[in-house]
């Protein structure tokens, strides 16, 4: 049995690179969600006027790694207190967001957010909402970090996040 949740926490290359390394995660698909424009492209989302965030659809085996554990990792690998961005990636397309598929996931997300708040000085601004539609990203975004580890953004931004995750 598998379950899915859609998460956004900055650039989807970053969050995807870490989440795919969790035990029990079956796949991490980059995409766009949370907005109104049908079939958005990367260029459109980057302009920040589609309403969509860069997200990843995480398929996982809940018997091996629970949604709660995935959300604990999610809150630990990005700054959920930064509105509309992560680090130098600024704009609503980089917002922190959890998109749930049922009421159980909604409750788990709300509980995980409340628990995570204990570890942050500033209020967590992560949005929690129902997933309406997920649009897969263009193929070249899949496994971007693993295929391009020497690309400057990967070395400067993603590699340190992956290294911190491995230390945990």
Active-site amino acid positions:
11
Calculate the dihedral angle through the C-alpha atoms of 35, 40, 41, 44, rounding to the nearest 10 degrees. -60
Can you read off the two tokens belonging to residue 7? 């998460």
Helix H or strand E encompassing 8: strand 3-9
Q: Return the ∠ at Cα 38 (arms to 59 and 48), rounded to 5°.
A: 90
The C-alpha atoms of residue 26 and residue 4 are separated, in whole angstroms, by 10
Report CA-CA distances (Å) from 127 to 4, 15, 39, 46, 152.
Answer: 17, 16, 22, 19, 30
Cα 79 to the center of its chain, rounded Å: 11
């Amino acid at each position: 049995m598998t379950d899915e949740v859609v998460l956004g926490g900055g650039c989807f290359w970053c969050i995807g690179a870490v989440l795919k390394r969790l035990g029990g995660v079956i796949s991490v698909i980059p995409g766009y969600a949370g907005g109104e424009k049908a079939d958005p492209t990367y260029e459109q989302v980057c302009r920040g006027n589609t309403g969509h965030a860069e997200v990843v659809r995480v398929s996982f085996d809940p018997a091996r790694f629970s949604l709660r554990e995935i959300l604990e990792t999610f809150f630990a690998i990005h700054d959920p207190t930064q509105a509309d961005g992560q680090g130098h990636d600024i704009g609503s397309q980089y917002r922190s967001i959890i998109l749930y598929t049922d009421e159980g996931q909604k409750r788990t997300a709300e509980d995980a957010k409340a628990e995570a708040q204990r570890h942050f000085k500033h209020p967590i601004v992560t949005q929690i909402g129902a997933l309406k539609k997920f649009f897969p990203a263009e193929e070249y975004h899949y496994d971007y970090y693993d295929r391009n580890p020497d690309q400057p953004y990967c070395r400067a931004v993603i590699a340190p996040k992956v290294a911190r995750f491995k230390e945990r």
